[in-house]
Structure 1
Amino acid sequence: MDPFEHHPDEHDDEHDLGLQHDLATMERLGALAPVGAPAATGLAGLADGLDVAKAKRMDRRRALTMIGGGGAAALVLAACKIPVTGGGYAVTPTETAGPYPGDGSNGPDVLSTSGVVRRDIRSSFGSLSGTAAGVPLTIELKVTDVSRGNVVKPGAAVYLWHCNRDGKYSLYSSGVTNQNYLRGVQAADADGNVTFTSIFPAAYDGRWPHIHFEVYESLATAKSVSNKVLTSQMALPKAACDTVYATSGYGASKANLAKTSLATDMVFRDGYSHELATVTGSTSAGYTAKLTIAVP
């Protein structure tokens, strides 16, 4: 049995016991080893924007902390979103979680639902059912630790979420409040890697196509959003978006993409070099998006 997968015919009465229960079950099975838009898309863009200023203030504070808060260099880094460096290594910029995090900070808390630790996030889990349709997308992330010389960070937990091909977020948007798909948690392996099986997200009005994520020190600390060490977003490259949005089912994405750019997006316009994924593949075989996440 794969302890990360939800089996509807096994212990369904335990679906609401949360990540704490998942961890206990995984430990018993030996799975854990010690380690050293939305319906109103315009409103989604506005809500995202309300949190951007806060995220950028956090970036400036981190910049001052990481370089000792001294000299003109501190002022330069604080003035723009240049990823902060520690020992010459870039830290992934902090970004807003947006209005649909599902981590308990704004309503629903998917982290409290048993089964959230999973690789394939296309279907809803726990007491919910339903599957998000779309062009297949495998998301491969490598987590590194800048404070330790940018070495890989095995055991770090990544909570990832994004909209469906209609631009709607499960748990929040009209028509999908009874779904929790396209959300999941994974623990980094010995090489710092986490992998999610998902679908290519839509481009909704006001935002460049993106994927949200939070990083925690471990699965144990991922039980509460207050323990997150980084919140950020992954941007998807235009070439892949153009190809995907020409396929059936993505509706308004092509038109929405044409109305914005990475240079004008409310989150990425002040820099995205450390947030832009490398994407390969095809609409028939599916795509793979890769990004390194460097935590402070």
Structure 2
Amino acid sequence: MAAQLGLQRRRALAWLGSAAAAGPALLLGGCGGGGGSDASGSLAGLVAASGTASATTATPTTSTSSSGSSTTTGSSTSSSSSSCTALPGETAGPYPADGTNSSSGSTSDILTSSGIVRSDIRSSFLGTTTQAGGVQTTLTLTLLNTSSSCAPLSGYAIYLWHCDRDGNYSLYSAPTESYLRGVQVTDSNGQVTFTTIFPGCYSGRWPHMHFEVFQSLSTATTGKNSILTSQLAMPSAVCGAVYPYATGYTSSVANFAAVSLSTDNVFGDNTSAQIAAMTPAMSGSVAAGYTATATIGIAR
């Protein structure tokens, strides 16, 4: 854990140093979306108007998809994985909406909002009900304990968020929206499933999704309580299949052509084993949508 925190601190300091040299605009946009809209007012206002979530009434979602070496039979899933990779900690970026940062003086903590515990995260639930357009992606995450023979970790909360197909983040560069953010609680197999869209690629970053892991739903009230903050790297082949051919991803084509995993400021210093673990396995098509699985290894 100390090594993960040290790595996160070094990355954060390095990013802040380079961003400060480039000016205020980069400090806000370096890890964020493609828009520069001012989130003042709507950022904290939308969340404040939504009320407070009840952390004791959520029911863990049972997944019917498998990740890693897990096997699935009907609604019962058993893990048969004998090895797993501990994922490195990564920056949450400037757009987590988890109470750890502010934009134009407003601080947003969507983790305390009623409705944040949900499986389908495509629609906004604060202020509007706009559904984010894009290629449907069903993502199953399996949380495993790397210190205990990769045993499933149940009862943990996972917060997932990412940009829309235009590269914008809800509550920030898409300030009136709250889509593409949600929390699920791991079931007895350590699994959660989210229905979302394939994220766009914005300038300077490899296509990715953010996530935070919490000990329980009751502790998932701020990103400061997370036991792991990291990111998932979208598979190159799927990016190449989606961006040129799916509606609405036009800007992602040139952005994706200009970036690589090795030069990305988040994934660039990870080992090949870590990158493999951070890249979801995906199948499907633009027309039918994609199914994705990833294993999150964490030492507990």
User: What TM-score do you get using the length of structure 2 for normalisation?
Assistant: 0.70
Alignment-derived partner of residue 120 in structure 2: 120
Alpha-carbon distance between aligned partners in 2 of 1:32 and 1:134, rounded to the nearest angstrom: 27
Task: Answer whether contact 1:15 1:115 (CA < 8 A) is retained.
Answer: no
Alpha-carbon distance between aligned partners in 1 of 2:84 and 2:187, rounded to the nearest angstrom: 22
Q: Secondary structure at the match of 2:139?
A: strand
How many residues are aligned here?
222
Task: Answer whether contact 1:119 1:196 (CA < 8 A) is retained.
Answer: yes
Structure 2 unmatched runs, 5+: 1-47, 62-81, 102-106
Alignment-derived partner of residue 151 in structure 2: 151
**1:162 to partner: Cα distance:** 0.2
Going by fraction, where is helix more abundant, 1 or 2? 1
Task: Answer whether contact 1:135 1:283 (CA < 8 A) is retained.
Answer: yes
**1:32 to partner: Cα distance:** 6.3
**1:18 to partner: Cα distance:** 2.2
Alpha-carbon distance between aligned partners in 1 of 2:267 and 2:257, rounded to the nearest angstrom: 16
Alignment-derived partner of residue 185 in structure 1: 183
Query: How far does the alpha carbon of each residue in 1:58-100 deviate from its partner, in whole angstroms, 9 at most, with x for none?
Result: xxxxxxxxxxxxxxxxxxxxxxxxxxxxx98531111110110
Tell me which stretches of 4 or more aligned residues in structure 1 moved more than 3 Å. none
**1:223 to partner: Cα distance:** 1.6
Which residue among 278, 283, 290 is the counterpart of 2:281? 278
Task: Answer whether contact 2:165 2:249 (CA < 8 A) is retained.
Answer: yes
Which residue among 201, 216, 232 is the counterpart of 1:218? 216
Alignment-derived partner of residue 231 in structure 2: 233
Alpha-carbon distance between aligned partners in 2 of 1:131 and 1:248, rounded to the nearest angstrom: 15
Give the aligned residue type for 1:18: T
* Superposition RMSD in Å: 1.9
The question of 1:93 aligning with 2:110 is answered no
Task: Classify 1:25/1:15 alpha carbon distance in 2 versus 1 (closer, same or farther; 3 Å).
Answer: farther
**1:292 to partner: Cα distance:** 0.2
Alignment-derived partner of residue 160 in structure 1: 160
Task: Answer whether contact 1:136 1:287 (CA < 8 A) is retained.
Answer: yes
Task: Classify 1:93/1:210 alpha carbon distance in 2 versus 1 (closer, same or farther; 3 Å).
Answer: same
Alpha-carbon distance between aligned partners in 1 of 2:233 and 2:56, rounded to the nearest angstrom: 35
Q: Secondary structure at the match of 1:239?
A: helix
Which residue among 16, 38, 50 is the counterpart of 1:16? 50
Task: Classify 1:254/1:148 alpha carbon distance in 2 versus 1 (closer, same or farther; 3 Å).
Answer: same
Query: How far does the alpha carbon of each residue in 1:118-162 deviate from its partner, in whole angstroms, 9 at most, with x for none?
Result: 000000114432110001111110001123332100111100000
Structure 1 unmatched runs, 5+: 1-13, 34-86
Q: Secondary structure at the match of 1:274?
A: helix
Alpha-carbon distance between aligned partners in 2 of 1:136 and 1:88, rounded to the nearest angstrom: 30
Give the aligned residue type for 1:98: G
Q: Secondary structure at the match of 1:281?
A: strand
Task: Answer whether contact 1:119 1:184 (CA < 8 A) is retained.
Answer: yes
Identify the range of structure 1 (207-216 vs 269-278) with the bigger mean alpha-carbon deviation.
Answer: 269-278
Alpha-carbon distance between aligned partners in 1 of 2:254 and 2:84, rounded to the nearest angstrom: 38
Alignment-derived partner of residue 35 in structure 2: none
Task: Classify 1:150/1:129 alpha carbon distance in 2 versus 1 (closer, same or farther; 3 Å).
Answer: same
Alignment-derived partner of residue 253 in structure 2: 254
**1:16 to partner: Cα distance:** 2.6
Alpha-carbon distance between aligned partners in 2 of 1:18 and 1:148, rounded to the nearest angstrom: 35
Query: How far does the alpha carbon of each residue in 1:241-274 deviate from its partner, in whole angstroms, 9 at most, with x for none?
Result: 0110012210210110000111211111122222
Alignment-derived partner of residue 297 in structure 2: 294
Task: Answer whether contact 1:170 1:182 (CA < 8 A) is retained.
Answer: yes
Task: Classify 1:88/1:183 alpha carbon distance in 2 versus 1 (closer, same or farther; 3 Å).
Answer: closer
Q: Secondary structure at the match of 1:252?
A: helix
Alpha-carbon distance between aligned partners in 1 of 2:240 and 2:83, rounded to the nearest angstrom: 35
